[in-house]
Structure 1
Amino acid sequence: MSDPLFEEDDGAGWIFTFADLMSLLLVFFILLYSLSRMTETTLVAALSSIQVALNSNGALVRQDPLKYSGGGTEVIRPAEPQMATNDQLTYAKEPIDEEVREQVKEIANDVANRFVATALESQVSVFEDGERITIRVDGSSLFESGEAEIKWEAEPIYATLLNIFQRYPDYDISIKGHTDNIPIRTSRFPSNWELSAIRATTTLRYFLNNGISPERMTATGYADSIPLVRNDTEEHRALNRRVEFVLERDNKKLRSK
């Protein structure tokens, strides 16, 4: 009688380990092939992207793009932010129906008049391009410097915005946070990207808590990537610190009515 402890297993269990090994080798050789096809330009671009993400002031490249352990000393810095152009500040790309254009103008005028009626016109600007309406709010009116909690003094602005969003339910709302180029490095906000993003989402949460549908809203932080003017003076930096609300008509909702 054979001993069950020493009885050989009929199954070929080794095949699974072998298959895993072959899969890993295949992935390894694909990776080597991809690296062999990488040019100096694409490598520098990749390093630049990683470094800019880690440090808004740029970082030291420790590797020569041609010799990966060459100990290079080149510094790749993020590109200077481009000034916002008319194409970036207006959004229409296709011919707009004249009826739609007139409707957007009427709504933009109504929005502007509501801020005038509440004596907020010095803190809020309203623009329209025939298809979308942009409400630009001075950032210092909403948040303390380096903070993302809404100031109690901002309540009239948020209340007016809430009334506007409720009045025009067919318009989606894109909330965009912008900062100046002064870096911030705290445990909560490692950079201006986090600060602008959390300000935008904090603002979104305010309207969500007050009954605006989450399907209508998006929130995005742009840090200092789209300045209105150069960040060369305190006055200019103050202009670049802002929150924008872009209202765009949801054509799908209108067609379903």
Structure 2
Amino acid sequence: MTVNSGRNQMFDKAAREESLDGTTWYAWEIEENDGGWLLTYVDVLSVILAMLVVLLGQMAVQHLQTTNEDSRMAASYEAVPSDEPTIEVQQPQPSIQTDVESVPTPTIDAETRLVAAIEDRFQDEVKVVQRDKGISLEIADVILFDSGKAELLAEAQPVLKRLAVTLQEIGKADIAVEGHTDDRPILGGRFQSNWELAAARANAVTRFLLDQGFAPKHLRSVSYADAHPVADNSNPNGRAENRRVNLRVEFLK
């Protein structure tokens, strides 16, 4: 086989060889400066490109599988209702502190108004005594009764009427009518002792208040005789103070 010499001008070096069968062939030696490295570089790039294609293909397949799995899990959660109770978490509300002035209770307010009304309307006829529980209105026996008697005097009725109106204006209350005497024993007459006299006087005032419209369930009469003196029984003035009728008033809430 003959090779044209013009075609061989493109090669720097060539070696002519003959085989045993008489065939002629040529081998070329490519030097380093003739661009042999370029072939190796192209081969490496080809291998890298092939690897990238394979990796990208695997990643695409894995992403598709993951997406399908997530879709199946989401569908299963939506399809199966949960038996667990729903827990609602509430944010704690900030505490608000305000300065609130103390408001008087209705009973204290009523007692204050009653004291003011008694002092304004009755002067010396009715005396106000503050108690641990409620207010006591004290009326001397000389305003209400004759000595040793339990019938109300005519001049006592206007006082009791004004007192009844005042109490009704202030508000509803439980009223205990208390009869008190001095310690001198009763000699003869209608009553056997100071207990009967004090009870009869308390009953007389209670009946008068009933006639003025007070409810029976809010009234009661009590006899203390000489058991609760407020003054010394050894002198006339002291004994006069001890002979009295008290109205213990406790306003309803």
TM-score (norm 2): 0.55
Aligned partner of 1:108 in structure 2 is 111
Q: Identity of counterpart residues, as a percentage?
A: 32
Q: Secondary structure at the match of 1:99?
A: coil
Partners of 1:98 and 1:224 in 2: how far apart?
A: 40
**Aligned partner of 2:104: which letter?**
E
Q: Does 1:242 align with 2:244?
A: yes
Residues 230, 242 of structure 2: 8 Å contact kept: yes
Offset at residue 182 of structure 1 (A): 1.4
Q: Secondary structure at the match of 1:230?
A: coil
**Aligned partner of 1:99: which letter?**
P
**Aligned partner of 1:127: which letter?**
V
Q: Does 1:228 align with 2:243?
A: no
1:149-196 Cα shifts (integer Å, max 9, x gaps):
111111232012211332244310000010011111334211110000
Partners of 2:173 and 2:233 in 1: how far apart?
A: 33
**Aligned partner of 1:239: which letter?**
E
Aligned partner of 1:99 in structure 2 is 104
Structural mapping, 1:1-257, within 5 Å:
99-100=104-105, 103-118=106-121, 120-129=122-131, 131-250=133-252, 254=253
Unaligned runs of 5+ in 2: 1-101
Residues 114, 170 of structure 2: 8 Å contact kept: no
Offset at residue 122 of structure 1 (A): 1.4
Partners of 2:212 and 2:201 in 1: how far apart?
A: 17
1:107-132 Cα shifts (integer Å, max 9, x gaps):
334333333433x3213111234641
Q: Secondary structure at the match of 1:222?
A: strand
**Aligned partner of 1:242: which letter?**
R
Unaligned runs of 5+ in 1: 1-96
Out of 181-190 and 109-118, give the one that drifted further. 109-118
Residues 165, 212 of structure 1: 8 Å contact kept: no
Partners of 1:200 and 1:190 in 2: how far apart?
A: 16
Q: CA RMSD in A?
A: 2.1
1:195-247 Cα shifts (integer Å, max 9, x gaps):
00000011100011121100000101111111012201000001101111111
Residues 111, 251 of structure 2: 8 Å contact kept: no
Aligned partner of 2:35 in structure 1 is none
Partners of 1:112 and 1:138 in 2: how far apart?
A: 18
Q: Secondary structure at the match of 1:174?
A: strand
Partners of 1:98 and 1:184 in 2: how far apart?
A: 51
Moved over 4 A (4+): none
Q: Which has the larger radius of gyration?
A: 2
